Chains A and B, each alone.
Chain A
Amino acid sequence: MTNFHYIGKEASRPDGPDKAAGKALYIQDLQRPGMLYGKIKFSDFPHARIKHIDTSKAERLTGVRAVITAFNTPEIRLGFMRDNFALKKDKVRQYRDEIVAVAAIDPEIAAEATELIKVEYEPLPGLFSPHEAMKEGAPLVHETDPQGNSRTDNLVPLQFHHESGDLEAGKRAAKHVVEGTFTTPMVQQCCMGTAGCIAELDMNSNLTIWAKTQIPFLAQRDFNRALSDMGLAGKNARVIVPTLGGSFGSGLDTHCYEYIAILLAFRTGYPVKIVYTRAEEFANLSPRQSSTTKIIQGCDQNGKLTFRHVEVLQDNGAYTSWGATYPSVMMMPATSLYRISNVYFNAQLVYTNNTYCQAMRGYGNPEFTWALESNMDKLAEEARIDPFDFRMLNSNKPNETTPMGLKISTCGLKECLETVAQKLNWKKRHKKGKHRGKGLASLIHVGGGARIYRSDASGLILKLDDFGNVNVYHGGVEMGQGLHSVLTLAVAEALGVSSEKVLINPTDTGTCPWDVGTHASRGAFMACNAAILAANKLRDKIFGLAEVFYPQEVEKNLKKLKKKNPNYKPPDFDVIKAARRENFELQDGFIFIKDGPQESWLRLELARLLRAIHFRNQGQMLTTEVFYDPPNELPDFKKGFGNISATYAFGTQGAEVEVDTETGEVKILKMVAAHDVGKVLNPQALKGQMYGALAQGIGYAFYEELLSQQGKILNPNFRDYKIPRVYEMDFPIELEFIESNDRFGPFGAKGVAEPGLVPTAPAIANAIYDAIGVRIHDLPITPDKVLAALKKLK
């Protein structure tokens, strides 16, 4: 299919008008009859034993309907390592630990009630860095593991390890070797719509929860387990996803506040809503994982990479969530960005009393690529090779398998590099302007799903109705990225109907088939591949039934036409003979015979056909379902091997900067981003994803940092946690999309949600180095770091 009706053409999002009119309903807007408001009391210490909780005053406050603690509710554990608790009982391990929760008739009363709660603590010494926590004799953040066995240290029992080739031989073959240690901070997702949910149990004790989640089905599993913990084994959680005010990874795990809402709903018998304030969002929701990466790379005298040695240390915080699995993603660029044999990768995670971290767009890739691409420039300089030439020399190629076992199908990396170099005028980069520089950096990311669970599948149902509408049920989550837009277009394209007839239903575990979650840039890849399969199945059904019903309906058309126009002479065409399933086509909602006469009476509205099939004895309604499971593997992360994705996205970004050497401020003069996207499905949505990701990459590069001191977040607000505003994106940005037309991708497309912010920070850092000879190793690149580095140079 190369002449697409919808794919690759400009189309605005179907949910755009409602959002523009202020009609979209976010969790903040939803109400249920009798709904109560929940509010949580968080810990006053980063590490302490809970000695006593006095809730008496809160309970007596007018309007309060319930006050719960770990002492009057069943224990609910959460997290994939089961090391977290919905409400804390014996001790608190971080400032944001949930100790008490209140349900009241309005949010203000609930908040007042939490202020009336008195907790007595016995403070314990706190650990605020992995180094502190790894010291001999350091206090334990968790004294026992989830099974009750004693722990002896603060190391998180997760292994991420990879060794391939012969590292020693690689080192010997290296003429030039460069090492460096790079750090990245905690960064907040900063969704404009804060986290929240409404939990409601019916009188059969089945739960409905409207949740700000990206994993409705995994959440269902987690909540079903919680119901079981509450003595409601066998009861079911139905997870409904409302319009989301962004997510960026924050919805990839279940959160304590969700279980607390469920417990409050159970206790009170009423729906309970909990919505985080912005301060709670910053301080009490899990941010992007921080990292420390030590990297050593070597190349031979020609510039070919000979080995790569990587060690990652992560501050796991008090409990374990997806931040702990960033190394599983880091392994991908570590083993597979640029052609490299002889790779060593190891990651260590340590419990501390800092906040625990979660997924955020890129999920370890921006963190690691920061280190890798900075180090690549250092190595290029050491080897006296131009950074662009160095990367071209080592570039990945199509149809190769990497040390991790990633099977690269299409690979547009060389084209991306060339595009960026050309648009940045790379050859002439030292011609004008002092304190000006150019830099670039590339990326590899999963582009065809990511099997990090046993299943990476995605189901889809298409239900046709009597009006030719295609009702779509899909478990993927629209969080603003445009999943529902591309799904609409993919169904329309693959089925052959108008996109206006494609109606996407809300994501609801009660109605949609299973999907593992919208993460790893897999949304469009999964949904659209499933849509194509389902549409083809449906076309088969339609065309099979059309053999009987098409002739009889077009006969009616012809009769009508002859009545109106008695002189009409139909062409010499045997409709019944032509009416074979392989001869039909469906386009724009009309069925016709391929290569048949162009007469209007031979074009039958799909809706007409469907009604004919429906309204008769033994009538039928047409629905199909598929469960699409992509051709990828669940890697063994202890061995660091497995083809995690069906295809891989590549890209390169370049920056031109100017440094004010008196103030340390860095101004971006121009950015270029060339991405191998497989195929552009929806131009404005793709551009939106890229611009948005670039903005996050720029924030990551220059000023985003959650400041934490002794476990306390110091800047839980937009006044002191800065994200880009309209002026910070006021410079020329050139986007170029390389279409490598991947055979695994829907219409050739790869997943593109995350790549846009992966190489941004190192591209900028490399440009700064080019401008002033200063290399910053620790994000964010703030003006005072630049000044301090300049001073050191002198």
Chain B
Amino acid sequence: MKKEISFTLNGSEVSVTIDEHLCLIDVLRGPLGQTGTNEGCREGECGACTVIVDGRAVNSCLYPALEVEGKNVTTIEGLQEPNQKLSIIQQAFVDHGAIQCGFCTPGMIMSAKALLDTNQNPTEDEIRDVLLGNLCRCTGYVQIVEAVKQAVVQLKNKK
């Protein structure tokens, strides 16, 4: 059965007609063509598919598409600023060598963003807690944590 869903994606209203059994990741990567969100396991273990729904980081591979009706979804594509400028968190990842193959990167950044949107002064433990659901095989996480810490400082300075 196909159903229509409407929601806000990165600030714009979107509408798609989809099979009922799909999850949010299928809608994003399929009809909406937003391939920045990656599928790594489809079991909620790797976090590569992390997006933000109504301010909360979720695994889009386990988020039924029909549940996103009327909600506010942010994906990695929504972070970039006009004129090819990266957001502060994204630039911090680039600056700190926190990216190698990059497959986990969008998910990591979205997890960090969900934290920093609500907590401007996270402790290192709080940073690690929000990244716990994101697997990385390349970096060993050290530079990722450093990048998020840099983003905290820079976001504060921006204010």
Which residues of chain A have a CB within 8 Å of any CB of chain B? 12-13, 15-26, 28-29, 189-194, 243-246, 248, 277-278, 479-482, 684-685, 687-688, 690-696, 717-719, 723-727, 729-730, 733
Contact = CB atoms under 8 A, between A and B. Distances in A.
B55 interface: no
Nearest to B79: A21
A717 B41 contact: yes
Contacts of B36: 21-23
Contacts of B95: 12
A730 to B, nearest CB: 6
A655 to B, nearest CB: 15
Contacts of A28: 35, 38-39
Nearest to A11: B97
A754 to B, nearest CB: 14
A480 B101 contact: yes
B8 interface: no
Top 10 closest A-B pairs, CB basis? A22-B36, A480-B101, A19-B102, A684-B97, A691-B140, A245-B103, A22-B76, A718-B45, A480-B100, A695-B140
Contact of A694 (B41, B94, B128, B140): B140
B137 A22 contact: no
Contact of B86 (A17, A248, A718): A17
Contacts of A688: 97, 100, 138-140, 143
Nearest to A479: B101
B51 to A, nearest CB: 11
Given A21-B76, A719-B43, A723-B135, A687 B97 contact: yes
Contacts of A726: 128, 131-132, 134, 141, 144-145
A18 B94 CA distance: 10
Contacts of A277: 42
11 contacts: A16-B99, A17-B86, A21-B36, A22-B77, A25-B35, A245-B103, A480-B138, A687-B143, A688-B138, A723-B135, A724-B141
Contacts of B48: 192
A219 B46 CA distance: 30
A20 B43 contact: no
Contacts of A244: 101
Contacts of A20: 86, 90-91, 93-94, 99, 102, 105, 109
B1 interface: no
B103 A246 contact: yes
B75 interface: yes
Interface in B27-41: 29, 34-41
* Interface size classification for chain B: 35 or more
Interface in B95-144: 95-97, 99-106, 109, 128, 131-132, 134-144
Interface of B: 29, 34-43, 45-46, 48, 75-77, 79-80, 86, 90-91, 93-97, 99-106, 109, 128, 131-132, 134-145
B9 to A, nearest CB: 13
B76 to A, nearest CB: 4
A685 B139 CA distance: 10
A134 to B, nearest CB: 35
Contacts of A727: 128, 132
Nearest to B144: A726
A717 B145 CA distance: 25
Given A19-B105, A22-B37, A192-B135, A481 B100 contact: yes
A236 B61 CA distance: 39
A289 B28 CA distance: 38
Given A21-B77, A192-B46, A723 B137 contact: yes
B135 A718 contact: yes
A19 B102 CA distance: 5
Contacts of A685: 97
A13 B97 contact: yes
Contacts of B102: 15-16, 18-20, 24, 243, 245, 480
**Chain B at the A interface: mostly helix, strand, loop or mixed?**
loop
Nearest to B104: A192
Contacts of B97: 12-13, 684-685, 687-688
Nearest to A191: B137
Nearest to B94: A16
Contacts of B128: 726-727, 730
A25 B33 CA distance: 12
Contacts of A719: 43, 45
Contacts of A190: 135, 137
Contacts of A17: 86, 90, 94
A694 B99 CA distance: 16
B38 A26 contact: yes
A16 B105 CA distance: 10
Contacts of A723: 135, 137
A26 B35 CA distance: 9
A245 B38 contact: yes
Given A246-B137, A718-B135, A723-B137, A193 B40 contact: yes
B94 A718 contact: no
Contacts of A18: 102
Contact of B42 (A13, A21, A278): A278
A687 B45 CA distance: 26
Given A20-B86, A21-B86, A696-B137, A729 B106 contact: no
Contacts of B134: 725-726
A192 B136 contact: yes
A192 B76 contact: no
Contacts of A481: 100, 138
Contacts of A693: 140
A24 B101 CA distance: 10
Given A19-B105, A22-B76, A730-B128, A691 B93 contact: no
A777 to B, nearest CB: 27
A488 to B, nearest CB: 14
Nearest to B128: A726
A691 B139 contact: yes
Nearest to B107: A192
A367 B145 CA distance: 30
A480 B93 CA distance: 14
Contacts of B142: 687, 691, 729, 733
A687 B38 CA distance: 25
Central interface residue in A22, A29, A695, A718, by most chain B CB within 10 Å: A22
Contact of A692 (B42, B80, B109, B140): B140
A719 B104 CA distance: 17
B152 to A, nearest CB: 16
Contacts of B41: 278, 717-718
Nearest to A243: B102
Nearest to A482: B100
Contacts of B131: 725-726
B39 A13 contact: no
Contact of B80 (A21, A192, A482, A690): A21
Contacts of B45: 717-719
A730 B36 CA distance: 28
Contact of A13 (B77, B86, B99, B145): B99
Given A22-B37, A22-B76, A691 B143 contact: yes
Contacts of A192: 38, 40, 46, 48, 101, 103-104, 135-138
A191 B101 contact: yes
A480 B103 CA distance: 9
Contacts of B42: 277-278
Given A20-B90, A21-B36, A193-B40, A729 B141 contact: yes
A194 B29 CA distance: 16
B43 A16 contact: no
